[in-house]
Amino acid sequence: MLITIITFILVFGLIVLVHEFGHYFFAVRAGILVREFSIGMGPKVWWRRGKNGTTFTIRILPLGGYVRFAGDDDDDEEHLRPGSTISISLNNDQEVDTIDVSKGRRLLQGIPLQVVDHDLTDKLFIAGYINGDESAVKRYPVNHDAVIVEPDGTSVRIAPRDVLFQSASLGNRMLTNFAGPFNNFILSLVVFVILGFTLPGIPTGSNRLGNVQAHGPAARAGLVTGDRVVKVNNHRVASWQALSQQISTQPGKTVTVTYAHNGHQRSTRIKTKTTVVNKQKVGRIGIEEEISKSPVARVKYGWNAFAQSGTLIFSVLGHMITHGFNVNDFGGPVAMYAGTSQATHYGINGVLAFLAALSINLGIVNLLPIPALDGGKLLLNIIEAIIRRPIPEKVEVVVTLIGFSLLLLLMILVTYNDIQRYFVH
């Protein structure tokens, strides 16, 4: 169980890290201030502010994570309401460089201030009474790169207008919103390719024979590794699937096999062995599919696995659209944990396959045009491009809150259903 828990944390954590890094990378390139890049949720256990102004945090619950763009929230307004008691420090130019609103401590050499007014977006100032003296209001200019020490002690940059998410061009905002799911696709493809390189060999799917079992029916008939089977009982076979089907449906019977050996075509008659698979009798002649160990074949395997996973997810979504919504079609964290448990039974390859499939799954789901998801944000971007004017901020906030509420309700239902499915029934 401990291995499953650790694996789950690592798999889910890596997927979230890669997703959020996509948002972070393109935001920084676009000149958007990323105030915080958090790994995990809940109370912080470590933080450090980077040279570009982003505060990197690790939080106590190792599940999930987020990036906080400048303009994403109104926490600064909440902490700096008129009447709030804070402390500030000044730089050599007598500009405020630190605003401390934390509850646990105050700046040792800070100036106590009871807030009267402030503007940290455009005019960049803060005004208030010093030491409770209400006889005069003192107004201080605020440095563009000043930081706020939040209630939990985390230090983040203020959010002037020029670095707000909303101030970036529409194209850059769309790229930033799309970058998270895109990174999930890249991660999935890379892991599938890595998986291809961990396998002993990649099945070619061709009608060329791989290993021919010694003393088996095919070997006794003269077939060797590298021969290409072209017909079975006058049925043309151009792939391993077709060859396997023709043989397996003839248990205990004699079949005529036409094959190419060193450029010459030959025919032979082979009596198949009868074996039982899933309570069904199938024919066998002691041959194995050809495998390739070339890098090209391994990369191709990764691409095909990636494409097949994406196709499967889209088919499931299409089925939901045409046949109606069913909560059993969804899986939440509990289902992911159960999937991790199953994957660990197959070793590193099982975990890699699960990681790759889960990453592309979350990438596609995140692109659904649902408010609060990246796809919903992209939809708003597209609408903005069509109407050629920004969507009112209040409208965007309301739409996002509605979408988030619906997602939260769905997550509760899915989690309850998963618990019933995996632990009760």
Best CA proximity match to 173, nearest among 184, 185, 165: 165
Residue at token pair 């992209």 = 378
Angle at 20 between CA 16 and CA 23, to 5 degrees: 155
Q: What is the spatial distance between Cα 314 and Cα 303, in angstroms, rounded to a whole number?
A: 17
CB-CB neighbours of 228 under 10 Å: 17
3-state secondary structure of 140: strand
* Tokens describing residue 340: 């991790």
Please give the domain boundaries of the chain with CATH numbers for all domains.
76-158 (no CATH), 202-292 (2.30.42.10), 295-424 (no CATH)
Yes or no: say if 357 and 346 are a contact pair by the CB < 8 Å rule. Answer: no
Q: Which residues are catalytic?
A: 20
Contacts of 195 (CB under 8 A, 6+ apart): 301, 302, 305, 349, 352, 353, 356
* Tokens describing residue 333: 């964290």
Q: What is the spatial distance between Cα 110 and Cα 124, in angstroms, rounded to a whole number?
A: 19
pLDDT in tens, the chain (425 residues): 788 888 988 998 999 999 999 999 999 999 999 999 999 888 889 999 998 999 999 999 887 889 999 988 766 777 899 988 899 999 999 999 999 988 666 566 688 899 999 999 999 999 999 876 777 899 999 999 999 998 888 899 999 999 999 999 999 999 999 999 999 999 999 999 999 999 989 999 999 999 999 999 999 999 999 999 999 998 999 999 999 999 999 999 999 999 999 989 999 999 999 999 888 999 999 999 999 999 999 999 999 999 999 998 888 778 777 776 665 666 677 777 777 888 888 899 999 999 999 999 999 989 988 888 899 999 989 999 999 888 887 887 788 788 878 777 877 777 777 677 666 65
Best CA proximity match to 313, nearest among 368, 371, 350, 351: 368
Q: What is the spatial distance between Cα 238 and Cα 208, in angstroms, rounded to a whole number?
A: 9
